[in-house]
Amino acid sequence: MPALRAQAAKSLRGSIRVPGDKSVSHRSLMLGALAVGETRITGLLEGADVLATAAAMRALGAEVTRHDDGTWTVAGRGIGALQTPSGVIDMGNAGTGVRLLMGLVATHPITCVFTGDASLSRRPMERVMGPLRAFGTRFTARDGGLLPITVEGAADPVPVAAEMTVASAQVKSAVLLAGLNTPGETSVIQHVATRDHTENMLRHFGAEVITEPLPDGGVSVRLIGQPELKAADILVPADISSAAFPLVAALLVPDSEVRIEAVGLNPLRAGLVETLIDMGADITIENRRTEGGEPVGDLVAKTSALSGIDVPPARAASMIDEYPVLSVAAALATGTTRMTGIGELRVKESDRLAAMVDGLTACGVVVRSGEDWMEVDGLAGPPKGGAEIAVDLDHRIAMSFLVLGCVTENPVVIDDADAIGTSFPGFVDLMNGLGTQIGETNT
């Protein structure tokens, strides 16, 4: 459980590639397991969360193999052929993994028990179980709909028309995955559009998915059940949520220019880039292309003078994981940055909204907040820093405050670096290779 200390950096320079997209990595393993034939995955994120999903797919009967060249293959079992695991499936801290897997097994006639670490075991799962019960699935959970959860898959699932009450790609995806082994048409209506990696990848594997925009800006998604998915190779783009940390650091540290290669730029995920540009960030996108059905480009970021803005609440779904590091950027912007519609931050790996308010305040930044909003007053100079931050098993809180420590008067310490490995193995070495000064500390 090492503590890490970040101190002010003089300049960041270099060209890097961050780990593969976590959302795409989870889905490639799951859909590869339901496809007929062998799927080859290049660039899979080898963080703890995705490795938990790989282990889960093995437990459900798929043959999942990592090869010496870093590629992975999945020999699928076909839709409807998942097997009852021999033991409890431990998903660690993988919230996306466990919610999508609950959907995947919900319409298979098997019984699975899912558990997780202390952080995952306090995250809400009823939002997933509710719509999945309509298929005929049965759940047994702790009070409050918490892990451990036993899933008894429906032997004769019925198609569902689900209207989402939360703007969650995880819930939408769980319903669509359950629809794969259900006869007829399963549909999802979301009044706020969320990331569409599941729809893109389902089409990539041969499923029929119909997406239609709604007048209110939302989306209707329909899936024709019981397709024969065929193995399809996947090239995983670099994760924009991971790219966010060196991206913001490059904007804030003096005399910096950093290129981040092959970043996934799905418009339903790229809200942070749009927001930073609105704040005055010098970010250019080069070498745009499409890889594995996802738009990709190289991000080039240079030191910038940022200004506070009102972040449109409609943008929250496209950047919900990036608000912690955005609030770090806001701390060094001129004026006030207001973020609204961000209540979802309170049910992530930790209460991220509270964690950022407390941590920024401890570092000398003026912050105001409510149930689903936060305001950050930017400082004329560097924040004082000098605080030790309790990250509460949350990787994004840990990395956000390490980025802040790169520009504070006094070093910033995080109490536990272990959580970083869930999404960004090699984070410290990569950042130090650019010029940051992050290292272990005994304080």
Cβ proximity of 265 and 45 under 8 Å: no
Nearest Cα residue to 416 out of 394, 385, 387, 438 = 394
Quick one: tokens of 159?
Answer: 């198609």
What is the average per-residue pLDDT within 235-264? 97
Q: What is the pLDDT of residues 4-21, one digit of tens each?
A: 999 999 999 999 999 999
Residue 167, pLDDT above cutoff 90: no
Cα distance between residue 379 and residue 364, in whole Å: 9
According to DSSP H, which parts of 191-322 are helical? 197-204, 240-252, 271-278
Cβ proximity of 17 and 246 under 8 Å: no
Q: Give the DSSP H or E segment for 99.
A: helix 95-106
Residues 6+ apart with CB under 8 A from 179: 107, 159, 160, 185, 186, 223, 225
Residue 380, pLDDT above cutoff 90: no
Cβ atoms within 10 Å, residue 215: 5
Residue 1, pLDDT above cutoff 70: no
Q: What is the pLDDT of residues 64-76, one digit of tens each?
A: 999 999 999 999 9
**Catalytic one of 321, 351, 358, 418:** 321
What is the average per-residue pLDDT within 27-34? 97
| pLDDT attached to residue 275 | 98
Name the average pLDDT for the chain: 95
| pLDDT attached to residue 84 | 97
What is the average per-residue pLDDT within 272-295? 93
Sign of CA dihedral 43, 37, 23, 427: negative
Q: What is the pLDDT of residues 99-146, one digit of tens each?
A: 999 999 999 999 999 999 999 999 889 999 999 999 999 999 999 999
Q: What is the percentage of the chain residues whose pLDDT exceeds 70?
A: 99
Q: Is 321 a catalytic residue?
A: yes
- pLDDT range class, residue 443, cuts 50, 70, 90: low
Nearest Cα residue to 377 out of 342, 331, 408, 409 = 331
Residue 412, pLDDT above cutoff 90: yes
Residue 442, exposed/middle/buried by CB under 10 A (0-12, 13-18, 19+)? exposed
CB burial string 60-88: b at 16+ within 10 A, e below: bbbebeeeeeeebbbbbbebeebeebeee
| pLDDT attached to residue 386 | 97
Cβ proximity of 140 and 115 under 8 Å: no
Q: What is the percentage of the chain residues whose pLDDT exceeds 90?
A: 92
> First and final CA of the chain: distance in angstroms?
13
Nearest Cα residue to 279 out of 325, 237, 240 = 325
What is the average per-residue pLDDT within 327-347? 96
Phi then psi for residue 103, to 5 deg, are: -70, -40
Give the angle subtended at the CA of 102 by the CAs of 101 and 105, to the nearest 5°. Answer: 80
Mind listing the domains of the chain with CATH numbers?
3-20+237-441 (3.65.10.10), 22-223 (3.65.10.10)
